[in-house]
Chain A
Amino acid sequence: MSDITSQSLFELTSNIKEKKLSSEEITKAFINRAEKSKKLNVYVTDNFEKAIDQSKKFDSNPNLDFKLPGIPIAVKDLFCTNGVRTTAGSKILNNFVPTYESTVTQNLWNQGAILLGKLNCDEFAMGSSNETSFFGNVQNPIGENLVPGGSSGGSSAAVAANLTPVTIGTDTGGSIRQPASFTGTVGLKPTYGSCSRYGIVAFASSLDQAGPMTKNVRDCSMLLEVISSFDQKDSTSIEYKRNNYSKELSKDIKGKKIGIPKEYRVDNMPDEIEQLWKNGISYAKDCGAEIIDISLPHTNYALPTYYIVAPAEASSNLARYDGVKYGFRSPGQNLLEMYEKTRSEGFGDEVKRRIMIGTYVLSSGYYDAYYLKAQKVRQLIKKDFDDAFSKVDAILTPSTPSSAFKIGEKTNDPVSMYLNDIFTVPINLAGLPGISIPAGKDKNNYPLGLQVIGKPFDEQNILNISYALEDKINFKNDISDWWLSE
């Protein structure tokens, strides 16, 4: 049997069911590795002691009908966990201990999973490199001083470094798919309304979705099956029949029509990414898929639209952090001064920048010119996809315009940081499901990802296409464990 921590979720689950491994053995193996991996800075808060207790409890009376029987899982620190500190990577929530559980994490525990701890992320999920976190940047296990992507950077690094079998992240403009691409892992953003937003620290409510981050496509289907559910507590949760994603997983994609949007061939795109995309197209053909050229004419307008809509929603959502009800408070002579000091000292620079953008575009006299304009362009972007999906079953694109970059390389230029999400943002604006799978490496040997985009609620189809491509690509992450300490 291979080393416990390098096993996939599927292998670990089978080993538990066949009684070859106990939950305690697995849990301790991941904790032991985490103790030697502090250099990566993936954990904001660990839950190790309680996790061991829970694993023993599971082993004493194991329920093997569970989908995640006794499996330890660390989650992004954006999910509220009852009794376990939840920070959203921010100073303003540094001491916040929720008294309730997010629906998505509750779904994990209901299927036998055990909380390992809370993973680092960009502050309030605002960032593409995990560098905006109050708890410091995360190291990408693929190489020293590289960012792991963001905002789910602690999550992507933890999966790639074998510190959790799988994890869940959140994706508002690419925060699952871009870090997956940067670390050679799989990340799926489900259709808007598939996973409940209840108990997830809100960033931009019309874009936020939780989703699985895993080592491979099969694990991704297993985890999506657990976390996707209709929830009365989220008013935008959608009631529809969800597939048994892992049972229905199939490599048979013969006759599927896959669209290739010409607008994703952007200026200055590295040749390696162009080549990666071509390879993906030829693999899809090998699997019997039909390749169709399509056009998504408003692609170039997606990022500017996003940088109005997301900050506008964020400025409203983050109004709740006022130093009164929970979180950090800075004292003031009067109420107004207390608010202003609390928010000034409690939020980091990027969060403040986005609150300022959002406040501006919603302020009197500018609403029509910016916010309303953006909502109209968002309609055009959505229509582009509606038109495309009348001709194709799925769309194949690169996940990101580059591979992982150096820590500090883009921190002084917000716009160049924002450009990281050029291929992922349109999918959030249109509410569609998208998955990033590792598909190759660049000249530095850093991973690169391909994205498969589907129709609303058609996760099964993009999982199947990814499963078929994964088999052809046969990607191997080579990670040297350079960060391990004794």
Chain B
Amino acid sequence: MSIDLKTVKHISKLARISIDDEKANKLKSDLNNIFEFIEKLNELNTDNVQALTSIAETTLRFRKDEIKSENIREKILKNSPEENKDFFVVPKVVE
């Protein structure tokens, strides 16, 4: 199976990464090489194998739903690319 240019562009859209035609062609060839290598897995019959879902054989812990950090608004906003003292700012979404 091979990945065509249309698929590359579709994936880039899903991944929210814009690519031009030159990059798309390069990616197409890279991805096809990588998937050719990945296809090796099809040699194995895994019909009766349970998929591994967690490598650490422990059950996830429960904890009380408590607020442990208060007044961290400033910390959270500190690294935002466009400054506003109370909110994250993005391009206008609703007309």
Q: What is the interface of chain A, defined by CB distance below 8 A to chain B? A: 95-97, 99-100, 192-193, 206-207, 232, 235-236, 238, 298, 300-301, 303-305, 307-308, 315, 319, 322-329, 331-341, 343-344, 347, 352-353, 355-357, 359-360, 363, 370, 372-380, 382, 413-415, 418, 429-431
8 contacts between A and B (CB under 8 A): A99-B72, A99-B78, A325-B76, A325-B79, A332-B91, A339-B16, A343-B17, A370-B38
Q: Which residues of B contact A315 (CB under 8 A)?
A: 15
Cβ–Cβ < 8 Å partners of A337 in chain B: 18, 91
Contact between chains at B15 and A359 (CB < 8 Å):
yes
Q: What 0/1 readout, one digit per residue, does chain B (1-25) give for beta carbons within 8 Å of chain A?
A: 0010001100110111111000000
Decide: A307 and B88 in contact? CB cutoff 8 A. Answer: no
Decide if B40 touches A338 in the complex (CB within 8 Å). Answer: no
- B14 close to A373 (CB less than 8 A): no
Pick the contact of B17: A232, A329, A356 (CB < 8 A): A356
Write out the residue numbers on chain A whose beta carbons fall within 8 Å of the beta carbon of B34: 307, 353, 357, 414-415, 418
Distance in angstroms between the alpha carbons of A193 and B59 in the assembled complex: 12
B41 x A377 contact (CB < 8 A):
yes
Is the beta-carbon distance between A193 and B46 smaller than 8 angstroms?
no
Q: By the criterion of a CB under 8 Å from any partner CB, how many residues of chain B are at the interface?
A: 50
A422→B90 CA distance, assembly (Å): 43
> Considering only CB atoms, which chain A residue lies closest to B42 in the complex?
A373
B44 contacts which chain A residues (CB < 8 A)?
298, 301, 377, 380
Docked CA distance A382–B93 (Å): 47
Contact A326 B90 (CB under 8 A): no
Given A353-B31, A356-B11, A359-B11, 18 new contacts (CB under 8 A): A96-B79, A206-B54, A307-B34, A307-B38, A315-B15, A324-B80, A329-B81, A333-B91, A334-B93, A343-B15, A343-B16, A344-B19, A352-B19, A356-B8, A370-B38, A377-B41, A413-B33, A431-B56
Cα A291 to Cα B58 in complex, Å, equals 32
Q: A375-B53, A380-B46 are in contact. Are A341 and B18 (CB under 8 A)?
A: yes
- The complex places the Cα of A379 from the Cα of B49 at a distance, in Å, of 8
Are the CB atoms of A356 and B15 closer together than 8 Å? yes
User: Which of A95, A377, A413 has the largest count of B CB atoms less than 10 A from its CB?
Assistant: A377
- The distance in angstroms between the C-alpha atoms of A318 and B10, with both chains bound, is 18
**CA–CA, A477 and B16, complex, Å:** 46
**Do A235 and B61 contact each other (CB < 8 Å), given the known contacts A343-B15, A344-B19?**
yes
Cβ–Cβ contact B55 & A206, under 8 A: yes
Is B85 positioned at the interface, with any CB of A under 8 Å from its CB?
no
The residue of chain B having its C-beta at the shortest distance from the C-beta of A381 within the complex is: B52
- Kindly state the separation between the CA atoms of A359 and B27 in the bound complex, as whole angstroms: 13
Q: Per a CB cutoff under 8 Å, which of A236, A328, A413 touches B81? A: A328
Q: Is B67 an interface residue (CB 8 A)?
A: no
Contact A301 B40 (CB under 8 A): yes
B72 to chain A: which residues have CB within 8 Å?
99
User: A-B pairs with the 10 shortest C-beta distances?
Assistant: A326-B79, A329-B81, A431-B55, A375-B51, A340-B18, A376-B46, A99-B75, A379-B52, A376-B49, A359-B15
A193–B76 Cα distance when bound, in Å, is 27
Q: A235-B60, A338-B91, A431-B55 are in contact. Are A304 and B79 (CB under 8 A)?
A: no
Q: Are B11 and A375 in contact (CB under 8 A)?
A: no
> Of B15, B33, B80, B90, which is in contact with the most chain A CB atoms at under 10 Å from its CB?
B15
Q: Once the chains bind, are A353 and B88 in contact (CB under 8 Å)?
A: no
Interface 1/0 per residue, B66-95 and A, CB below 8 Å = 000000100110111110000010111100
User: With A334-B91, A376-B52 known to touch, is A305 a contact of B41 (CB < 8 Å)?
Assistant: yes
Nearest-CB residue, chain A, relative to B14: A359
A373 and B17 alpha carbons, distance in the complex (Å): 26
CB atoms of A353 and B27 under 8 A apart: yes
Q: Which chain A residues lie closer than 8 Å to B54 at the CB level?
A: 206, 236
* Min distance, Cβ A116 to any Cβ of chain B, angstroms: 23
A340 and B17 within 8 A (CB): yes
**How far is it, in angstroms, between the C-alpha of A374 and the C-alpha of B52 when the chains are bound?**
9
B76 CB to closest chain A CB, in angstroms? 8
- Within the assembled complex, what's the spacing in Å between the Cα atoms of A323 and B51? 35
Shortest Cβ gap from A303 to chain B (Å):
8
Residues of A within 8 A of B79 (CB): 95-97, 99, 325-327
**B9 CB, min distance to chain A CBs, angstroms:** 11
